[in-house]
Structure 1
């Protein structure tokens, strides 16, 4: 059983979380580290931390983002549609489905990636319960019950609590990783995160 943990804050509409998710999961398995998944309301986080939504950024910044996405698509060999048909949909129910499954004790690694892939590859509107039902069936048990819980006030409050907690812990973008007091922003920082994990393991072995 993993004794160390990465706290992973992400937006279910994040292109960079889509690119980084599989590599984060593979790295955690290599080093026997748990991942605690925290989907957050990133527009809310941006508003509280000085972030700028994509549509409000300058043309230069938008163009550079597209160039970077093309570079990472080639590097990782992962398909992506830019822009996705439903990239600005409401993400609340999808995020709350992950939280409901997490509270149910289920592994949410696959459903988290499947939701991101649905947005960025499959052109699926993840605001729709019917779409989430089909996505959830791929990796979760009792998806009907989880979707009912996801729509509950209790789970929605937890979603907002995650978002407030993210801000308090220094999160301002997606994906964001926290490990033993260190913070890492962006899937292009996974190498540094892995170095921190390895260093922590070596320190533990030295005692």
Structure 2
């Protein structure tokens, strides 16, 4: 039986960026069905005890930068720990990913995710900009119409449903991978996720 994975994240998360390619490879190798579920963590945090980055204690903010550098070096993934466009409003990018997932499928959404994450953490691009999002669609070979479609009420409903599903599942951070009700939080838990997928297959 193939595993089903709910992939919860928000587009500006550096940890999601660091784990994305590994997660995609892992899911494909396992033949897993992935539901790509960008969520509004501005609504997840208040019900899960989390705080947005600017409201966290200075010690936590400083240590976050240390850990980002460590993982970037360890994984050999380029990452600017203090990019020009961060913090950044991620709702438009999240809705665009949701629109692509709905119209073009998970593989197309994976590709766009990688482009969006890299835009923030490697390329110093503003993912709150409609122009940048349009450029990323083109770079991924995806229809330009998806940008306008991402503003449809139906996509907003999907985004809200993803957010509520994350809350209902007990998700509190990004990325979170949920397999048959079991949460694996963070790119540093991908080894545990891989063991879970092997046990299912």
TM-score of Structure 1 vs Structure 2, range by shorter chain? over 0.9
For residue 3 of structure 1, report the CA deviation from its aligned partner.
3.4
Q: Distance in 2 between matches of 1:7 and 1:25?
A: 12
Residue in 2 aligned with 1:112?
A: 113
> Take 1:84 and 1:43, find their aligned partners in 2: how far apart are those partners?
20
Shift of 1:24: 0.2
Larger RCO (CA under 8 A, 6+ residues apart): 2
Deviations 1:140-169 (A, max 9, x none): 4322x1111101222122212211111011
The number of residues matched between the two structures is 199
Question: How far apart are the structure 1 equivalents of 2:101 and 2:56?
Answer: 34
CA RMSD across the alignment: 1.3
- For residue 104 of structure 2, give the secondary structure of its aligned residue in structure 1: coil
Instruction: List alignment gaps of at least 5 residues for structure 1.
Output: 202-207
Distance 1:34 1:71, change over 3 A: same
TM-score by length of 2: 0.94
Q: Which residue of 1 aligns with 2:65?
A: 66
**Match of residue 34 from structure 2:** 35
Quote the residue 1:51 is aligned against.
50
1:124 aligns with 125
Scaled by the length of structure 1, what TM-score is found? 0.92
Within 5 Å, which residues of 2 pair with 1:148-159?
Answer: 148-159=148-159
Q: Is the 8 A contact 1:99 1:155 kept in 2?
A: yes
Query: Deviations 1:46-87 (Å, cap 9, x if unpaired)?
Result: 112110111111111112111111110111111111211112
Match of 2:160 in 1: 160
Unaligned stretches of 5+ residues in structure 2: none
